[in-house]
Amino acid sequence: MEHHGSFLSFVRDHLGQFFTYTAFANMTFGHIIMICVGLFFIYLAISKEYEPLLLIPIGFGILVGNIAFTPGFQIGIYETGSVLNYLYFGVLQGVYPPLIFLGIGAMTDFSSLISNPKLLLIGAAAQFGIFGAYAIALLLGFSPAESGAIAIIGGADGPTAIFLSSKLAPELLGAIAISAYSYMALVPVIQPPIMKLFTTSKERLIRMKPPRSVSKTEKAMFPIIGMLLTTFIVPSGLPLLGMLFFGNLLKESGVTKRLADTAKGPMIDIVTILIGLTVGASTQATTFITTKSVGIFALGAASFIIATAAGVLFVKFFNLFLKEGNKINPLIGNAGVSAVPDSARVSQFVGLEYDKTNHLLMHAMGPNVAGVIGSAVAAGILLGFLA
């Protein structure tokens, strides 16, 4: 009987101890909030189909990262030696973003840009959002390196944002990445009102000349010249720009189809899964829910709005110097903020609202891919000045 009693107390004690290890015992209000955020991301991805390839891994990653555990068992993403920590290495050391850029390069067709190279300038103008947000972040009291890392959200390029923040402000990486991908997913919601606000009904009806056909040689030369030129000016952008243009050369050379297929297929898929999951898991409530994170989200929104407005207004300004017939529809100005191809799709949809036969998608792809180059160049500059 005594033995029976001691056995029960043994079981009770161990069950009590076991309970202290469970997530129920370690859960905080912050964890619950973050799990709700993760579920919301998954809902947006499945129900609204907003960037599902990113929001599903990130949303699930948020769930994974916010299961409250007892520290010391090499479970958490921030615990040295844990599996998640090993996977997170690729984010912290900036390994994944250039690999994603390789895939993006292999799937990007620059022909709309080559056929109408003045669209490149729209991609440059939209980067103003980055530097507008940088100035605001400085005013709010963020350090210069933190401001630079936050501002890059305006580039609307997830891999670039992760790459730069891993170098300038690794402690803010989770918040910056989540903010960047959230706003990229919300491009169809954020951009149209700004585009409509800054354009007149006459401007929205501008029909652009159809793009000329682009030769194979031109397409193959573009990544070579593009890489040499941009990286000679901004060598710190080499990991991103080098991989982007390399991927594009694999595609356009026409003789490395297998490599291009791997880069734009299985490889980018694997890296997207790893980057999405680990970035999501890095939002552990204990490190993520801070006033800084709130500031980052606010600044991210500001930089997106500034970037979109800058792109649209630049086209209007540029049109002052263009002859009738060569004018650019300012509705493609928003596409300068990268977010490929969503922002170009927004141009198309908004354009069709005003003229059912005016298809802007092909034209918008020009500034859209120019935005990718522009944001990588901008990241290189920030890295050069602030690292």
Partner 1 sequence: MKNFVRIGGVILTLVMVMAAGQCFAQSASDLKINEVLVINDSNFVDSYGERNGWIEIFNSAYNSVDIGGMYLTDDPSNPKKYWIPKGDPITKIAPRHYILFYANNNPTRGIQYLNFHLKENGYLALYESNGRTLIDEIKLGDQKSDISYGRLSDGGNEWGFLEKTTPGANNYTGVKVTAGEKFVLLDPYGIGMAVIAMSVVFLALILLYLIFKHTKGLYTLDMKTLFRKKDPAVIAAPVSREEISGEVNAAIAMALHMYVGALHDHEETVLTIKRVARTYSPWSSKIYGLRNVPR
Mark the segment that binds partner 1 (CB under 8 A) among 32-40, 46-54, 86-94, 141-149.
141-149
| 3-class state of residue 172 by DSSP | helix
If one asks whether residue 377 binds partner 1 (CB under 8 A), the answer comes out as yes
Between vectors from CA 193 to CA 192 and to CA 195, what angle results, nearest 5°?
65
b or e along 73-103 (b: 16 or more beta carbons within 10 Å of the residue's beta carbon)? eeebbeeeeeebbebbebbbebbbbbbbbbb
Q: Binder to partner 1 among 66, 85, 147, 308 (CB under 8 A)? A: 147
Q: Binder to partner 1 among 12, 14, 212, 257 (CB under 8 A)? A: 212
If one asks whether residue 318 binds partner 1 (CB under 8 A), the answer comes out as no
Q: Binder to partner 1 among 160, 165, 191, 230 (CB under 8 A)? A: 230
If one asks whether residue 144 binds partner 1 (CB under 8 A), the answer comes out as yes
CB 367, min distance to partner 1, A: 10
Beta carbon nearer to partner 1, 46 or 225: 225
If one asks whether residue 211 binds partner 1 (CB under 8 A), the answer comes out as yes
First to last CA, the chain: 70
Beta carbon nearer to partner 1, 17 or 217: 217
Helix axes 361-386, 216-233, angle to 10 degrees: 20
CB 363, min distance to partner 1, A: 11
Q: Binder to partner 1 among 55, 120, 361, 365 (CB under 8 A)? A: 120
Q: Binder to partner 1 among 8, 25, 32, 233 (CB under 8 A)? A: 233
Q: Binder to partner 1 among 17, 213, 291, 357 (CB under 8 A)? A: 213
Identity (one letter) of the amino acid at 181?
Answer: Y
260, burial (CB in 10 Å: exposed 0-12, middle 13-18, buried 19+):
buried
If one asks whether residue 235 binds partner 1 (CB under 8 A), the answer comes out as no
Beta carbon nearer to partner 1, 218 or 355: 218
In angstroms, rounded to a whole number, what is the distance separating the alpha carbons of residues 351 and 324?
19
329 and 363 Cβ atoms separated by less than 8 Å? yes
The alpha carbon dihedral of 360, 365, 371, 377 has a sign of negative
If one asks whether residue 25 binds partner 1 (CB under 8 A), the answer comes out as no
If one asks whether residue 127 binds partner 1 (CB under 8 A), the answer comes out as yes
Residue that is written with structure tokens 């189909």 in the block: 49
- DSSP codes of every residue in 24-93: HHH--HHHHHHHHHHHHHHHIIIII-SSHHHHHHHHHHHHHHTS---TTSS-STTSTT-HHHHHHHHHHT
Q: Which of 199, 149, 158, 163 is nearest to 182 (CA)?
A: 158
Beta carbon nearer to partner 1, 131 or 297: 131
Beta carbon nearer to partner 1, 141 or 266: 141
Residues forming contacts to partner 1 in the complex (CB under 8 A) are 111, 113-115, 117-118, 120-121, 123-125, 127-128, 130-132, 134-135, 137-139, 143-145, 147-148, 168, 210-215, 217-218, 221-222, 225-226, 229-230, 233-234, 362, 370, 373-374, 377-378, 381-382, 385-387
